[in-house]
Chains A and B, each alone.
Chain A
Amino acid sequence: EVQLLESGGGLVQPGGSLRLSCAASGFTFSNSAMSWVRQAPGKGLEWVSVISDSGGSTYYADSVKGRFTISRDYSRSTLYMQMSSLRVEDTAVYYCAKAISVAAHLYYFDYWGQGTLVTVSS
Chain B
Amino acid sequence: DIVMTQSPDSLAVSLGERATINCKSSHSILYSSNNQNYLAWYQQKPGQPPKLLIYWASTRESGVPDRFSGSVSGTDFTLTISSLQAEDVAVYYCQQYYNIPLTFGGGTKVEIK
Could you tell me which A residues sit within 8 Å of B by CB distance?
37, 44-47, 50, 59, 61-62, 95, 100, 102, 105-115
Contacts and interface: CB of A to CB of B under 8 A. Distances in A.
A100 B102 contact: no
Interface residues of B, number: 24
Contact of B101 (A45, A47, A109, A114): A47
B25 to A, nearest CB: 14
B3 interface: no
B100 A110 contact: no
Contacts of A50: 102
B47 to A, nearest CB: 9
A45 B50 contact: yes
A47 B101 CA distance: 8
Contacts of A95: 49-50
B99 interface: yes
A114 B103 contact: no
